[in-house]
Amino acid sequence: MLKLIKCLGRKNYIRLNREFPNNFINKRSVFQTKNDGINVPKTLKDVSPQTLTNMQKKVGIWLLGCSGMVFGAVALGGVTRLTESGLSMVTWKFMGEKMPRTQVEWQMEFERYKQFPEYKLKNKDMSLSEFKFIFAMEYIHRMWGRAIGIFFTLPAGYFWYKGYFSKQMKVKVLLFGTLIGLQGLMGWYMVKSGLENRFQDVNDVPRVSQYRLASHLALAFILYASFLSTSLSHLLPKEKLLSTIQTMSLKRSAHIACGLVFLTAISGAFVAGLDAGLVYNSFPKMGDDWVPKDILALKPIVKNFTENPTTVQFNHRILGITTFGLISYLWLVARTKKLPKRTKLAINTISAMACIQVSLGITTLLTYVPVTWAAAHQSGSLLLLSFAVWLMKELKYLKYVPK
């Protein structure tokens, strides 16, 4: 380390460590290694702050693109579920299924679909043209998921080879890749639950397990938030904010708000999995009551929270209202505090999105869950999570300095 400082010069060494405290760059990519194992720079130009900043920006843009791809997958998944297309493809292949091209191939695929509960109990009158539509929706969703893997893997390999990643970043990259793989496997595991022969009665509604649906959505949200958070760490300049103990409560509230946004979205997956949005289509009351009488109809009681459509919708309402209330509190407190413009913009943005999201939720409920409004509501939850992650990043360096 002493030899390295001598080679760089103390001022340059201190400057680099101040500007890149997290060791974003693996400095072997810009250092030449001598036989004695000490890294020395080729020239000072090779390790200029501008060069390192450009490297950081490239990785940040790539990660932001990955988060955008995941956002698209969630939106497509919502539309696929709302159009009841998810069970149209009854097989899964690692390298991807082939899209039927000829009339014979389409008819063969349709015959496979006819062997499973959704067709037998629900879609006996479905025509081949109707099947083509739902098959195409599910096919696009699956291929988009595979495109995420390619969009992530190829640049990751390039950046890794070029030495753009520190040890910490390499761990994150491996974690991201693992999450992408798990997300794909969970997607098929979810679909498989709707293809099982557990729907025997003519009144049964073939659907995927709400537990697997919630798990699938949770993994997508975690992957999206991880990509977005890491990209913002690379793209947004850090601001060390000094404030009072009252302002520090904003930081805690922002973290709680982000957690509530996530929980509300996952509760929405249970609403979708049980078609609970069609149980009570009134607001603010549920029918004639504030608390429905059948809210604890199942035994044991704990089953109601994940298997009783009434309870599931009630919980989603309560979580949504609570999240909206906390974000409104954040906005009111921020108005009285001296904060940087970018931080205030983040608070104003998340507050506006919370109002839009609540409006979308109520509209979806009152109009009996049409595809357009329901898809917008699901995408809105991801936008709300995005702004919550952004706000946490802005408040990350908020420090309390006693007067």
pLDDT of residue 19: 45
Q: What's the CA gap between 165 and 175, in Å, rounded?
A: 14
Angstrom CA distances, 214 to 48, 221, 353, 367, stand at 47, 10, 23, 24
Are 260 and 322 contacting, i.e. CB atoms less than 8 angstroms apart? Answer: yes
Find all residues with CB under 8 Å of 137, minimum gap 6, and list them: 79, 80, 83, 85, 88
Tell me the pLDDT band of 45, cut-offs 50, 70 and 90. very low
Higher pLDDT, 143 or 341: 143
When the pLDDT of each residue in the chain is averaged and rounded to a whole number, the result is 85
Higher pLDDT, 35 or 160: 160
One DSSP character per residue, 156-176 reads: HHHHHHHT---HHHHHHHHHH
Tell me the pLDDT band of 398, cut-offs 50, 70 and 90. low
pLDDT of residue 179: 96
Higher pLDDT, 324 or 199: 324
Q: What's the CA gap between 279 and 265, in Å, rounded?
A: 19
pLDDT winner (highest mean) among 19-33, 54-68, 116-130, 353-367: 353-367
Q: What's the CA gap between 191 and 175, in Å, rounded?
A: 24
Q: In a 10 Å sphere around its CB, with 0-12 CB exposed, 13-18 middle and 19+ buried, how is residue 144 labelled?
A: middle
Residue with tokens 């506006």: 352
Helix %, strand %, coil % of the chain (to 5): 70, 5, 25
pLDDT in tens, 14-38: 454 544 444 444 444 443 333 333 3
Q: Is the pLDDT of residue 185 over 60?
A: yes
Are 217 and 269 contacting, i.e. CB atoms less than 8 angstroms apart? Answer: yes
pLDDT in tens, 270-290: 999 999 999 999 999 999 999
pLDDT in tens, 53-83: 777 899 999 999 999 999 999 999 999 999 9
Average pLDDT over residues 80-92: 92
3-state SS class at 31: strand
Q: Is the pLDDT of residue 249 over 90?
A: no
Q: Tell me how far apart the terminal alpha carbons of the chain are, to the nearest angstrom.
A: 38
